Amino acid sequence: MSKYKIGLFGFGCVGQGLYKTLAENSLDAEIVKVCVKNKNKQRSIDNDRITYNPSDILNDDQINIVVELIDDPQAALDIVRKALKSRKAVVTANKKMVAENLDELIALQKEYETPLLYEGAVCGSIPIIRNLEDYYASEHISEIKGIFNGSSNYILTKLFQEGKSYEEALGEAQANGFAESDPTLDVGGFDPKFKLSIILQHAFGLRLHPDNIFNWGIQNITDSDIAFARERNLKIKLLAKAYYNGDSLSAVVAPHFIDSQNPLYHVENEFNCVLINGKFASNQTLIGKGAGSLPTGLAVLSDVVALTQGYAYRYRSSDHKVDTSELVEVYLSAKDIDAINWTAFDTISEKYVGNDYGYVIGKVALSELSSLLSNGSPDTNLVFTSGSQKEVEIPSLTYSYAS
Amino acid sequence: MSKYKIGLFGFGCVGQGLYKTLAENSLDAEIVKVCVKNKNKQRSIDNDRITYNPSDILNDDQINIVVELIDDPQAALDIVRKALKSRKAVVTANKKMVAENLDELIALQKEYETPLLYEGAVCGSIPIIRNLEDYYASEHISEIKGIFNGSSNYILTKLFQEGKSYEEALGEAQANGFAESDPTLDVGGFDPKFKLSIILQHAFGLRLHPDNIFNWGIQNITDSDIAFARERNLKIKLLAKAYYNGDSLSAVVAPHFIDSQNPLYHVENEFNCVLINGKFASNQTLIGKGAGSLPTGLAVLSDVVALTQGYAYRYRSSDHKVDTSELVEVYLSAKDIDAINWTAFDTISEKYVGNDYGYVIGKVALSELSSLLSNGSPDTNLVFTSGSQKEVEIPSLTYSYAS
């Protein structure tokens, strides 16, 4: 008999992979019950291990590890709460649930002295949380950034490498299982924002609710934006960034122009990349598949193994402040560029007005971006050209004129 | 008073960095004694913490962690042996000592139930051993390869990017502190072989003494070899590789031709890169500084922190076999190419003879390479074009002729 009895919620790709792997493995852990929703689906497990009632797992005293792999963040939170209160260790891969409720989840872990692990929630197969907790525990990290969303990166790769339209590329990503049928979380920059919020806690000891992080996605990208980048030998990549700006921390999710000298330029398709800049290590780059059943499955399995070894996150705390007054340089494009609220800009360095496309490049406070975009025309697109952390210098344009 | 009392051997760059960091840190560990060799050097620590007698640390019952950072592998082994036998946990960064004595070091750890950690011995700031032990513990790894030596990579970068001669580039690497005054360990491929030997244990559970791994370095590289690569848009990188060849494992250190599609192509200067290929994670890439006081210091510090948390390597074992009969495809160049022992080759696909430079490309068994090279002319250079694990396809040459 195994020492570790696992109750599993959800039996999708990742859940099935975990079940199979644990059955074949020599680990001292086995899945004894699986809670699913749909009674009419055929399952590849013995009927006596299946239940439709969460209490059959949550009230079962022999179960000491709960693995939560369902889609619904609210139901997931409910399960994780009850499991921790019953002192069952928990593994989850639900980034939205973790990011939005991390304060409560940390408090519950402390109160009930029961660990919650969620490596699978952040950048698939890249072991970022564990490394931040352990290996980089004594590092002075100055910046973490990267490509945290495989779906958007896949779409951007198709746009730039194969000249596909945004709709074509999105459809292809959906057909390949890299994007959900409602792609808003991915292409709108919400998914990488959840991940960034979790990373902020483990890298800097800073708790920042995702609602308080500015995010913009790739949903409004046009052929003109891509042409603008191509003419300058740039690509556009959706980046999540957290970095020191003086004594404060800045955090943002937005598309960025990237040149070929940047390691992120070469990260394509569904791959994710995390760049860490630290006092000792200098630049570190971690690249791996950011999503999918096997990469996420590896992260979940690794968390299960860690729980059997008594592992728990330490949650160092800090008194970091967040700064949103920082000026960032952005490229803003729209069909009718003159509809933009000019007063939001601190300075404008370039403006181009065409028949069906125009853009401005200028500096604006991070805190002004949300209202600037919500008051602009609905086709407005935004790409960062540089922040305090410069990614690329836009070469000045011969056809620009002073604003 | 700290719970963890550290005795430090060696007070070079890494040792001094560790001392400073621990003094500034909130860790429950402090360096109470430092053993050094040279009595005439000025030191930046209190005199009463300095000793010249190893026994002052090894026989001190209050010291529970020994950090060994001296150059001499034999003296280092002696210290580590005695420390483990006194049940003092040990951190070392000496790759040669660990690689050549791992069997004994594993046995000592088991017998005295005392851990030895050595993250700093393998690829500087890249947390490879810890990730293999923990995160990839449940992964089925099929291949690990990469650039494991910063000095050689720095030299190759100067050769390819700046057109410097080998002697110039080596001198520059030495001036920058990336290469020792005797550079044989680095440029001869011995240093990456020690690291590969250690990695084989943690990735595959395979103990393979470095003497049983074929290594060739970049010491004989000529302008003609570089021109050959340049004409084909290739670079040469010194790679360490371990991979499954059917049911057996292959392990080798040698220069390889690399094309621009390969992530290793873009890893330059003193950076190291580790590529991991696994069933779940697919391709993972880790890039970071491979040497230097701060990157190594981070790894050592991280090991110290791990020891204070009761961490130890698990040393999974396996019954893997090693295969040296595998045919690898190589490019062999020399002034007098006809002096080469042709009978060692299984097949030769290309041969070029010039006045002052010639080469052959052909297939040869891994086990034949050592004698082939030792019997060739002293200026013979070797570059892998592909093995079972193909790195690049050499385009056929218009001026080649059938052998």
| Mean pLDDT computed over B240-266 | 91
Give the chain A residue nearest B280 (alpha carbons): A294
Could you report the per-residue pLDDT of B294-325, keeping only the tens digit for each? 889 999 999 999 999 999 999 988 888 998 99
Which residues of chain A does B132 touch, with a Cβ-Cβ cutoff of 8 Å? Answer: none
Does residue B255 contact residue B148 with C-beta atoms inside 8 Å?
Answer: no
Does residue A6 contact residue A29 with C-beta atoms inside 8 Å?
Answer: yes
Return the SS3 of A139.
coil
Of B103-117, B169-183, B234-248, B376-390, the poorest mean pLDDT is in B376-390
Tokens of B179: 């290469």
- Which pLDDT belongs to residue A128? 97
- Of B127, B57, B56, B141, whose CA–CA distance to B311 is shortest? B127
Which residues of chain B does A131 touch, with a Cβ-Cβ cutoff of 8 Å? Answer: 127, 131
Mean pLDDT by 10 residues, chain A (403 residues): 91 87 82 92 87 97 97 96 98 97 98 97 94 92 95 96 92 83 91 98 96 96 94 94 92 93 89 94 92 87 94 90 90 92 89 93 93 84 69 42 31
CB contact under 8 A, B284 and A286: yes
Q: What DSSP letter does each residue of A40-80 carry, written as one string?
A: TS--SS-GGGEES-THHHHT-TT--EEEE--S-HHHHHHHH
Q: How far apart are CA A128 and CA A303, in angstroms?
A: 12
CB contact under 8 A, A297 and B279: no
| Residue B310 Cα, gap to closest chain A Cα (Å) | 11
Most confident of A138-142, B196-200, B385-389: B196-200
Q: How far apart are CA A139 and CA A66, in angstroms?
A: 32
Q: How far apart are CA A346 and CA A263, in angstroms?
A: 31
CB contact under 8 A, B130 and A125: no
Could you report the per-residue pLDDT of B207-223, keeping only the tens digit for each? 999 999 999 999 999 99
Eight-state DSSP code of residue B48? G
CB contact under 8 A, A134 and B302: yes
At residue B275 the predicted structure's pLDDT band, cuts being 50, 70 and 90, is very high
Give the chain A residue nearest B294 (alpha carbons): A280
Of A275-284, B86-95, B369-378, the poorest mean pLDDT is in B369-378
| Mean pLDDT computed over B135-140 | 90
| Mean pLDDT computed over B18-34 | 86
Q: Active site includes A195?
A: yes
Q: How far apart are CA B248 and CA B321, in angstroms?
A: 5
CATH of domain A128-288: 3.30.360.10
- Which pLDDT belongs to residue B388? 38
Eight-state DSSP code of residue A176? T
- Which pLDDT belongs to residue B391? 53
Assigned fold of A327-386: Alpha-Beta Plaits (3.30.70)
- Which pLDDT belongs to residue A392? 52
To test the contact with chain A by mutation, choose from B6, B22, B119, B134 the residue with the greatest count of A C-beta atoms within 10 A, namely B134
Give the CATH H-level superfamily of domain B4-117: NAD(P)-binding Rossmann-like Domain (3.40.50.720)
* Helix then strand then coil, % of chain B, to nearest 5: 35, 25, 40
CB contact under 8 A, A280 and B301: yes
Does residue A245 contact residue A323 with C-beta atoms inside 8 Å?
Answer: yes
Tokens of B348: 């030769």
Q: Of the listed A195, A237, A289, A351, which one is catalytic? A: A195
CB contact under 8 A, A288 and B284: yes
Domain boundaries, chain B: 4-117, 143-289+319-403
| Residue B364 Cα, gap to closest chain A Cα (Å) | 34
Matching fold, domains B4-117 and B143-289+319-403: no
Nearest CB among A25, A130, A138 relative to B134 is that of: A130
CB neighbours of B35 closer than 8 A, spacing ≥ 6?
A: B7, B8, B9, B10, B50, B51, B52, B53, B54, B56, B57
Nearest CB among B130, B278, B295 relative to A281 is that of: B295
- Tell me the H-state helices in B48-187: 55-58, 73-85, 95-100, 102-111, 128-133, 150-161, 166-175, 184-187
Q: How far apart are CA B166 and CA A392, in angstroms?
A: 34
Statement: residue B398 has pLDDT above 70:
no
CATH 3.40.1160.10 is the classification of domain B143-289+319-403: no
Bridge-partner residues for B286, per DSSP? A286, B274
Nearest CB among A126, A135, A289 relative to B130 is that of: A135
Query: What size, in residues, is chain B?
Result: 403
Q: Of the listed B88, B96, B195, B237, which one is catalytic? A: B195
- Which pLDDT belongs to residue A374? 85
At residue B146 the predicted structure's pLDDT band, cuts being 50, 70 and 90, is very high
| Residue A146 Cα, gap to closest chain B Cα (Å) | 14
Tokens of A100: 């939005």
- Which pLDDT belongs to residue B215? 97
